[in-house]
Amino acid sequence: MEYDVVIIGAGPAGYVAAIRAGQVGLKTAVVEKMYIGGMCLNWGCIPSKALLESAKMFNRVKVAEEFGIDGIDIQNLSFNWVKAKTRSTRITRKLTNGIQHLLKKNGVEIITGTARLGTDHSLFIDDKQIFAKNIIIATGSKPKAIEKTLENAPVIEMEKIFSLDSIPDNIVVTGNHISAVEMAQFFKLIGKKVTLIANSDYFMAGLDDYLVTIITRKLKSENIDLILNAYPEKYENGEIHIAGFKIKCDLLVNLNSRKAIIPESEIPFELTERGFIKTSKAFETSIKDVYAIGDVSGKSFVAHVASAQGIHIINHIKGIKGNFDDTTYPINMYTVPEISQIGMTEQFIKGIGIDYKISEFPLSINGKALIEGNTEGFIRMISDKKYGQVLGIQIVASNATDMIAEASAFMNLEATVYDVAKTIHAHPTVSEIYMEAGYDSFDKAIHL
C-alpha cells in the first residue's frame, strides 16, 4: 500500500496535518500506537486545564458572599478530586472522539501500532509494510526521567495522574517551565502543601524577565516553595533531601524538561545537540521528503505551533508556497491570574539594540475587571520608538490566554501603537486595556 503522506503520531501536530492532507486530496494515513489526540488531549493541554478550572471554581466560590450570594458554608467546602477528574475525562473523550470523526470524514486512514522507518520511504507497523511519498514525524516528547537518586520516591508522570484515587497532602513538582508552574498552583489551590523544584538555571526560559519576576512573586505569595537550580540528592523516610533541606514528599510529579520521542529508523536522523530531530527551515529532516514537526523537532513545545507547522507542511507538499513565521505565536499560562506573552521580550530587544518604549495599564482601574472581581494584572506593550511598531505584548489577567489573540493579530499585521490606540473596544470590557496601552505609548493613557 502506498500513500501520498503518512504521519507518525496523532497529537496536535499529526492529526491536524492529517486532516489538512485529507482536505486537499492527498491519500493519507496516520499511525498512532496509543492515544488519538496525543499528550495534549489525553493528559496535557486539555485535561490539565480542566483540572485547573475546577480548582479555580473551588476558590471562586469562597468569595461568593462578596457578590451578594448567601447560604454557602465556607467551612464545609471541599474539593472533590474524583468528580474533577471525571469531568476532565469526559471533556477529553468528547474531543478525542471528535478528532477520530474528523480524520475519517476527511478520508484519513488510522493505523494503530508502532511505526519503524525503513529504506526507500517504507514504514513497518508491527508486521505490516507500507510506503509513502512523504513522511511526517510527529511523535512528540516526554519529560526526562527523574534522577536515579529518587527512583524510590513516589514518582508519578502526568500521563498517570488521573489514575490516582486521591491526592496526598505534600506534593513536590519538579520542572522548569509552564506546565510545572500550572500544576504547582493547581495543587496549592486545592489545599495541598507544594514545593516546586526547578532543577536547572533555565526556569521559565523564553519568557520576559519581567514576567518571570511576576511568577516568582506570585508563587511566594501563595506559599509555594520554589527551589531554583538545585538537584535532589536522595529520597529517604518520606523526604527529599535537596540543597541542605529536607522536604516532606507524598507525591513527586515529574514535569522535567522534555526529550524527543524518536521512532526507530533504518536510516538514522541527524539530531540537534539537545537530542531532537534536526530539520531545515522547511521542517525537512536529513532524509529527503521526511519531515519532523511539533515537539520532536525541539523548535517549539506548544500545541498551537505544532498544529500550524502541520498545516504548513501539507501546503508545502501540495505546492502552496509560504514562509513559516515562528516569532509571533503566543505563550500562555493558565494560572491565577493567567499570563500570556507574544513577540519579543525586553531582554531580547535590548540585546539587538533597538530603542524601545514600554507602556503599561493596570486592571485595577478597568471597569470590567472591577465588575468581575478580577483586578490582578496588567497589559505591558513594548514598541519601537522610531516607528511605533509593536514588538511585543504581555498580559496578566484572568482571561489573558484569550485576550492575547488580539495581540497576535496586531503583530502579524505589523501594527503600530497608533493602530492599537485607535482600535475601538466595547465598553465595559477588559480588552479596553489595549487602547489604554496604545495611548500611553505616545501620549498618555486616557484613564490613568
Q: Residue ranges of the domains in the chain?
A: 2-142+259-317, 145-256, 331-442
- Mean pLDDT of all residues in 284-300: 94
Q: What is the b/e burial string over 387-422, where b = at least 16 CB atoms within 10 angstroms of the residue's CB?
A: ebbbbbbbbbbbbbbebbebbbebbeeebbbeebbe
> Quick check: 286 pLDDT over 90?
yes
Containing H/E element for 230?
none
C-alpha cell, 276: 531532537
Least confident of 183-197, 315-329, 341-355: 315-329
C-alpha–C-alpha distance, residues 197 and 266, integer Å: 39
C-alpha cell, 247: 522536604
> Quick check: 393 pLDDT over 80?
yes
Which pLDDT does position 296 carry in this prediction? 96
Domains 2-142+259-317 and 145-256 share a fold: yes
Dihedral over alpha carbons 313, 314, 320, 323 (to 10 degrees): -20
Q: What is the pLDDT of residues 93-135, one digit of tens each?
A: 999 999 999 999 999 999 999 999 998 889 999 889 999 999 9
Catalytic residue among 177, 312, 427, 447: 427
Which pLDDT does position 233 carry in this prediction? 87
Can you name the CATH fold of 2-142+259-317? FAD/NAD(P)-binding domain (3.50.50)
Which pLDDT does position 242 carry in this prediction? 92
Q: The domain 145-256: what is its CATH number?
A: 3.50.50.60
Contacts of 98 (CB under 8 A, 6+ apart): none
> Quick check: 200 pLDDT over 80?
no
Residue-wise DSSP of 118-162? -STTEEEETTEEEEEEEEEE---EEEPPPPGGGTTS-EEEGGGGG
Going by pLDDT thresholds of 50, 70 and 90, the confidence category of residue 39 is: confident
For domain 331-442, give its CATH number from 3.40.50.720, 3.40.50.300, 3.30.1280.10, 3.30.390.30. Answer: 3.30.390.30
Q: What is the pLDDT of residues 135-146, one digit of tens each?
A: 999 999 999 998
- Mean pLDDT of all residues in 284-301: 94
Task: Please tell me the pTM assigned to this model.
Answer: 0.94
Examine the residue annotation and report whether 121 is marked as an active-site residue of this protein.
no
> Quick check: 201 pLDDT over 80?
no
The phi, psi pair for 324, rounded to 5°, reads -95, 115
